[in-house]
Amino acid sequence: MICLPVLLCGLALGVQDDEPDQPQDVGPSMAREDVYEHVDRGVGYLLNTMNEDGSWSTKAPDCILELGFALETYYSWQVAAQALGCMALAAVPATDERQAALERGVRFLCETRLPRRGADWDIDGVWTALYGYVGCVELLGDEQLQAEELQALLTKRAKEFLGELRRHQALSGGWAYYDDPPYDVIPTWATSFCTALVLPALLEGQRRGLGVEQKMIDRAVRYVRQCALPNGAYTYDLTPVPRISGVEHINKVEGSLGRIQVCNWGLAAAGVEQVTSDVVREGLEAFFDHHGFLDHVRTRPIPHEGFHANAGYFYFFGHYYAAKAIDVLPEAEREGYHARLRPHLCKTQWKSGGASDFLDSGYMVTASTSYLILSLQAGLPADAR
């Protein structure tokens, strides 16, 4: 008979038989030729865990440490992770198996119902709108998905996700996944990183004629710019008078490592002149100099319990956007930074090819594995993409 506490611990932590007890031993940098195997293993994990209907994971809570959210939230996370999984499959060199899985994944993303608002405070469906829209816009430009039917599906769903973004853009101009009182249709709260991650896709959607209003973009850009601090950090959310006191704080550089990269990348894509190559470079150097704070918190099950209020789920998010920020720099500098980034990704990968930086719920593993693939793939030559 299985002891109940042991069973509950297994459910809570999502125990993986093939997860290494310690991070894998890698050097301070990795050459391109050393990462192909890691990418292939990650893709293999996505292929092996895809459901019959083209989805990953389930819409049910499969980790007891994540109880307490609205039931709709778990479905929202599943669909957001679905978009990332499709982006990852589209980013790697095609094979017949990968192509078939990508098309099945895209069909699920485009045909499943849109998540609803789960509660007055719990609006995690915004994660679906953000990554669903980003995913559809990127997939529209993928040469593997140029069939008329798939283009029509992606265009329709992109516009639907855009509609959700339009409905959930806060008065301040940004987006977030929770709301504060007084609760209303338009949320009262926004974060810098949620807003920054969608900026390039809004610009691309506007170029594609998807109906993105310039006002939506302008408000979002202004919000992220207002979150910028003189020390190079970006505040978690916009506060009129940021107060950073004590030895630790989430809005110091050490607590902003994941936000700095996505905000610099998003603003650079929007043509903000203040985000120069020097600014991007300084943000990346801070990321590597203070990386221990991200290592410390990875896989810890309680949000924001790390130094400077870092959370485990900052890890792969931050590394993905570090890879995107690297590609803002002059081409001659990129490989050196990608070589420094790769070990921090590869050391975390399970033997099965999967990965997770927070809880091992299905949607989290799908998202983490997809971030890992996308981050590594960003540093490979064009003919390997």
Q: How many percent of the chain have pLDDT more than 90?
A: 85
Q: What is the pLDDT of residue 280?
A: 98
Query: Residue 12 above 50 pLDDT?
Result: no
Nearest to 298 by CA among 367, 358, 373, 372: 358
Q: Which amino acid is at 133?
A: Y
How much is the average pLDDT of 177-189? 92
What is the predicted pLDDT for the residue at 108? Answer: 98
pLDDT of residue 10: 40
**Burial of residue 6 (number of CB atoms within 10 Å: 0-12, 13-18, 19+):** exposed
Please, what is the angle between helix 96-111 and helix 148-168, to 10°? Answer: 40
- Return the pLDDT at 66: 85
Give the whole-angstrom CA distance, residue 361 versus residue 61.
8
Q: Where are the domains of the chain?
A: 34-242+352-384
pLDDT of residue 246: 82
Respond yes or no on whether the N-terminal peptide bond of residue 187 is cis (omega within 30° of 0).
no
Residue with tokens 């926004």: 190
Q: What is the pLDDT of residue 60?
A: 86
> Which whole number is the average pLDDT over 20-40?
80
- Residue 219: name the closest of 199, 235, 237, 233 by CA: 199
Q: How confident is the model at residue 385 (pLDDT cuts 50, 70, 90)?
A: low
d(C-alpha 133, C-alpha 212), whole Å? 11
**25 Ramachandran zone, left/alpha/beta (phi>0; psi -120 to 50):** beta
CB atoms near residue 303 (< 10 Å): 14
Beta-bridge mates of residue 178: 122
pTM beyond cutoff 0.85: yes
**Which range among 111-115, 116-120, 268-272 shows the weakest confidence by mean pLDDT?**
116-120
* Confidence band of 23 (pLDDT split at 50, 70, 90): low
**Three-state secondary structure string covering the chain:** CCCHHHHHHHHHHCCCCCCCCCCCCCCCCCCHHHCHHHHHHHHHHHHHHCCCCCCCCCCCCCCHHHCCCCHHHHHHHHHHHHHHHHHHHHHCCCCHHHHHHHHHHHHHHHHCCCCCCCCCCECCHHHHHHHHHHHHHHHHCCHHHCCHHHHHHHHHHHHHHHHHHHHHCCCCCCECCECCCCCCCCCCCCEHHHHHHHHHHHHHHHHCCCCCCHHHHHHHHHHHHHCECCCCCECCCCCCCCCCCCCCCCCCHHHCHHHHHHHHHHHHHCCCCCCCHHHHHHHHHHHHHCCHHHHHHCCCCCCCCCHHHCCCCHHHHHHHHHHHHHCCCCHHHHHHHHHHHHHHHHCCCCCCCCCCCCCCCHHHHHHHHHHHHHHHHCCCCHHHC
Give the pLDDT of residue 64.
80
Q: What is the mean pLDDT of residues 144-172?
A: 97
In this predicted structure, the answer to whether residue 21 has a pLDDT above a threshold of 50 is no
- The residue written with tokens 């050097």 in the block is 27
Q: Is the pLDDT higher at 89 or at 26?
A: 89
Quick one: pLDDT at residue 4?
Answer: 34
In whole numbers, what is the pLDDT of the chain averaged over residues? 92
Q: Indicate if the pLDDT at residue 147 is higher than 60.
A: yes
Q: What is the pLDDT of residue 9?
A: 39
**pLDDT of 241:** 79
**pLDDT greater at residue 106 or residue 8:** 106
CA 213 – CA 130 distance, rounded (Å):
16
The pLDDT assigned to 266 comes to 98
pLDDT digits (tens, 9 = 90+) for 338-367: 999 999 999 999 999 999 999 999 999 999
pLDDT digits (tens, 9 = 90+) for 46-66: 999 999 999 999 998 888 888
Residue 2 confidence (pLDDT) above 70: no
Is residue 288's pLDDT more than 80?
Answer: yes
Who wins on pLDDT, 245 or 287?
287
pLDDT of residue 243: 77
Confidence of residue 135 (pLDDT cuts 50, 70, 90): very high
